[in-house]
Structure 1
């Protein structure tokens, strides 16, 4: 049995297909998707449709990202959040032009079913962004923190890596889990093109929405699998505003 965490896709279906082909998924494998399936490249609706179909064949865990929240709100109400529209929403709306109302209802159900976080049998936590509660993710007061927070990753990056987990100096919120896997903050921000690790936190967002690649990591072996640079898969779309 293998478990893979897969980073933020942002409408890059071509990149997702490349990664899955490299993984050569088997029936007993588990795929944990870290959120932000939409908003970016031109195939957001197609990504969602593919993931729905994929979940019927393989064991998939889908985490909810902040872009997914925006798209879910639009599918439910038809109202366009201006911030969302400027940060990939326009491309997502356009990707739905050939989808029927029934298709959109099915996609809304998909977004509504997304998990805020997932904890596996080995006490490994998976969530889109972060959390601030020193008592753990279950005690987080504001749900939006789970898909917007960047302080967890910033804290992990600035920690003295030699501090033992049993030390009183070790941040309490990190002690609750064996490992923590996140997306949301592109590793490109730190001039890194592969998943990054700081203490027990792993960041899997390698900037597929921008000029990075889509990444998957085997959470047991830490082997990394990557697509081509996603902008090279959509050359006619380079230069459009994305986030």
Structure 2
């Protein structure tokens, strides 16, 4: 039986991703939806992208664009960089690409270009790295950058009363467009959690892989959760983004 599995932020933690997929016992029939931020953090950023390119040849994969992916893509194409990016993991990606050929870099640029800002499935579920702000839904968003930068969707969900339902007048209109929304971008470790967290109809699957957390996956139908070891334990000689 095929599964639909959503995987949170990776941040170059290839060893943890391989461990996670082994824990999942991945089948070629399974569909994988990655929520973005494949790079910037641990030393395997470039290797992670190479691995994902090969993985997509064996499994149905959806790759959502993260803010770190957008920044790394710009650097690969134009050498554009900024100090904030370098301070928040960008330098690790620059280092990771030093031994890559021009041909390999071209393949990675193609990978970055073909990512989705968001994806909607046939079950009225949305998959997006950060969120969206338009009350009419993501199709009406004014600026693409909001999909992979804006944190207000998650902040709104955290501030909502637990007993608020879609039938209530004060239920946010943004949330009413979908049965479920899956996001990454803001680690749940910031609220003291280590597993994917559901608030309202939003599942946050970023469990802090860039810092002291792990990489997580969730089966959207069964809600079974799979996790790697904390990524930093697999890269003991590195600092990540800590």
CA distance in structure 1 between the partners assigned to 2:89 and 2:121 by the alignment: 31
SS in 2 for 1:173: helix
Match in the other structure for 1:181: 182
Q: What are the within-5 Å matches in structure 2 for residues 1-243 of structure 1?
A: 1-238=2-239, 242=241
SS in 1 for 2:163: coil
TM-score (norm 1): 0.97
Q: Which runs of 5+ in 1 are unaligned?
A: none
SS in 1 for 2:130: coil
SS in 2 for 1:175: helix
CA distance in structure 1 between the partners assigned to 2:12 and 2:27 by the alignment: 24
Q: Which moved more, 1:9-18 or 1:153-162?
A: 153-162
String of CA shifts for 1:67-107, please: whole Å, max 9, x gaps: 00000000110232222111111111111111100000000
CA distance in structure 1 between the partners assigned to 2:113 and 2:19 by the alignment: 27
Q: Which moved more, 1:156-165 or 1:192-201?
A: 156-165
String of CA shifts for 1:90-135, please: whole Å, max 9, x gaps: 1111111111000000000000000000000101000000111110
Contact 1:36 1:65 in 2 (8 A): yes
String of CA shifts for 1:211-240, please: whole Å, max 9, x gaps: 0011000111111100001110001003x5
CA distance in structure 2 between the partners assigned to 1:4 and 1:167 by the alignment: 31
TM-score (norm 2): 0.98
Shift of 1:9: 0.1
CA distance in structure 2 between the partners assigned to 1:163 and 1:84 by the alignment: 38
Q: Which runs of 5+ in 2 are unaligned?
A: none
CA distance in structure 2 between the partners assigned to 1:90 and 1:117 by the alignment: 27
Contact 1:213 1:227 in 2 (8 A): yes
CA distance in structure 1 between the partners assigned to 2:81 and 2:144 by the alignment: 21
Q: Which moved more, 1:20-29 or 1:121-130?
A: 20-29
